[in-house]
Amino acid sequence: MKNNKKIINAAPVPANGGKNTVASRGAFNPDEYRVVRGGVDNFLLFTILILLAFGLIMVFSASYADARTRYGDSYYFIKRQSIMVIIGLVTMVVASRLRITFYKNAAVLAYGFSAVLLFAVLFAGDTGGGAQRWIELGPLRFQPSEMAKYSLILMLAWYYSKYAEKAFDMRNNKNAYLYGTMIPLVFIGFICVLVMLEKHLSGIIIIGCIGLMVMFVSGIKLKLLGLFAAIGVAGVAAIAIFTDYTKRRIDIWLNPEQFPREGGWQTLQGLRAIGSGGLFGLGLGNSRQKYSYVSQPQNDFIFTITCEELGFIGAAAVIVLFGLLVWRGVVIALRAPDRFSQLVAVGITFKVALQVILNIAVVTNSIPNTGISLPFFSYGGTAMVVQLAEMGTLLAISRHTLEKK
């Protein structure tokens, strides 16, 4: 999978202070390993390109009826999505060629910039669907919470790589507690509070889960992580129960037929689309539900149109492709030569996996509809560009592998 390999370090540092990494299972001896620099992971690259092509096909198939009805142009959505994919691919190529030190140096700045944008949304954001999540600058409309997810991964990875000695000081529990648990939780909680003020429950869940996963992989004590995870779950549950906006979502989820004009219709028609696809589907382009039954089918509910047109086989193909991407991301993380690279790779891979699981859970009505997009498929500019930037970062990490001599 790699070629033109070059040995750049004969004595790598284990990624997790000697714990839970490929380089440190058992008795780690740095003299037995070397860091090798080569090309990007071709398997991951091809998987990304296949997902993008598949996603573009489905965006066009799912959107052309809605685009013609709303804008008089069947190509309205696919033209815009194609432009964002091109921009995203350029971003991915550039990101894949940057050195890991660039990401380390940019982590704090990216986190701070994301926080500023989240603050800006509260005062000058565009409101839609009962939530305030977007910023408009002329023709551009983007969602800062998408950037915040990526920047949080970089920030936590930078923090644990810089303060590893204090965060994992087993001889000083006070230091380990403060630096290993409390300060990272402040980073996570700060972003979650800003996103909560936007009435973005799914964003809180995703950001919180990403943060806890990075903390878990870093090697902090599981008892502490479990305690704070439980507190986080309780907090999200309280928001869902006592906030009118999220409480309404739960009511619609439990009884979609009773709220046809407030989201129940979308859920019911999505389930009908999934059920009518059968094993092989109605054929590409032959969906019936996209004709004003599933509203904006090119967005969060695009998986239902995929099921209707391509059936169980098509849906399984989508899941398998994402499974391959996640598997490759895990392989890259396990081979990463340092703590920062490993944590970034895990964070990005977990983010994709989590969003896929949650999107499918939403469209099958397994969880309340919280507006979670399907990576590489759902129509949306900010998400697409950020996702491809993350893939570029993962490809950059894949250039450096830890191998035995």
Question: Cα–Cα distance between 332 and 310 in angstroms, integer?
Answer: 32
pLDDT (tens digit per residue) in 76-111: 999 999 999 999 999 999 999 999 999 999 999 999
Is residue 376 classed exposed, middle or buried when 0-12, 13-18 and 19+ CB atoms within 10 A define those classes?
A: buried
| Structure tokens belonging to residue 7 | 């040995």
| DSSP summary character for residue 179 | I
Looking at residue 132, its pLDDT comes to 59
What pTM was estimated for this model as a whole?
0.88
pLDDT of residue 17: 45
User: Looking at residue 61, what is its pLDDT?
Assistant: 95
Mean pLDDT, 10 residues at a time, the chain of 405 residues: 51 44 42 70 97 97 92 93 96 96 95 92 64 66 87 96 85 83 92 85 87 88 72 71 69 76 80 92 93 87 95 97 97 92 96 96 87 90 92 94 68
Q: How many helices (H) and strands (E) does the chain have?
A: 14, 6
Secondary structure in 3-state letters for 83-148: HHHHHHHHHHHHHHHCCHHHHHHHHHHHHHHHHHHHHHHHHHCEEECCEEEEEEECCEEECHHHHH
Say if residues 45 and 395 touch (Cβ distance below 8 Å).
yes
Angle between the N-to-C axes of helices 339-363 and 302-335, in degrees from 0 to 180, rounded to the nearest 10: 160
What is residue 116's predicted lDDT score, i.e. its pLDDT? Answer: 92
What is the rounded CA–CA span in Å between residue 181 and residue 245?
Answer: 32
